Amino acid sequence: MMNFTFRAALLCTFSFFSVSGFLTVEAQPGEEVTLMCNNFTISPSNVFWYRLTSGANFSCVSSMSSSATNVLLCEGFHKDKFDMTSNITNLSLNIKTVDVSDSGLYFCGCCKEGFSALVSPTYLKVQEKSDENTNLMVVILGGLTLFLVMLVIGLMVKIRKLQKGTFENLLDLSYFMTFAKRGGRREMEPTVVYAATR
């Protein structure tokens, strides 16, 4: 029943966020990012951070019972990368050395007496790192392609010129051969018997 209530509250929250929008934080891989929201709890309660990724995976990042207790990180999130703090005014999630897999929609919220409330959605967008080697390879392959295209065009022009010159020489040769055959007189062959009838 609690799971159903949580999902219903989550659905209502998403419909509210789709109308109102949310804050977007952009970062480069390797940077440190701090996501913050107002501490909306007056009395001690369980506060937490959740992350929604593009694959519709909704996962718990961290939680704490009050500002005086230790942070509990959820499965798959490590203390050397994620840190949650809470004081009277703010609830924050610090992510050290972000990478592309950290991108997603982060929510801070609280759970008190069986009811969950998600507030302050923040979309963390980690830019994909532009690899210098990839850019260098694109330039090299582009230059090589241009060189090969120019080489093929040059060879085609050269072959065409050679074919044109050969064709003209062939016409000259065939013209000479026709006159050479007509110019000579046939001689009588000694082994042939000639007969004439009258």
Tell me, yes or no, whether 85 and 6 share the same domain.
yes
Amino acid 163: pLDDT: 78
Residue that is written with structure tokens 């000694």 in the block: 190
Amino acid 1: pLDDT: 42
* Inside any domain, residue 34: yes
Tell me, yes or no, whether 168 and 140 share the same domain.
yes
* Inside any domain, residue 194: no
Tell me: the pLDDT tens digits for 30-67? 899 999 887 766 665 778 888 888 777 778 888 887 65
How far apart, in Å, are the Cα atoms of 80 and each of 35, 54, 99, 182?
A: 16, 24, 14, 102
Tell me, yes or no, whether 87 and 144 share the same domain.
no
Task: Please report, for the domain that includes residue 63, its CATH number.
Answer: 2.60.40.10
| Residues in the chain with pLDDT values less than 70 | 1-21, 40-44, 66-69, 114-115, 130-133, 165-189, 192, 194, 198
Query: How far is residue 6's CA from residue 116's CA, in Å, rounded to a whole number?
Result: 6
* Inside any domain, residue 184: no
Tell me, yes or no, whether 10 and 57 share the same domain.
yes
Tell me, yes or no, whether 48 and 17 share the same domain.
yes
What does pTM read for this prediction? 0.54
Range of the domain at 33: 2-126
Tell me, yes or no, whether 92 and 163 share the same domain.
no
DSSP 8-class letter at 168: H
Amino acid 19: pLDDT: 36
Number of independent structural domains in the chain: 2
Amino acid 152: pLDDT: 94
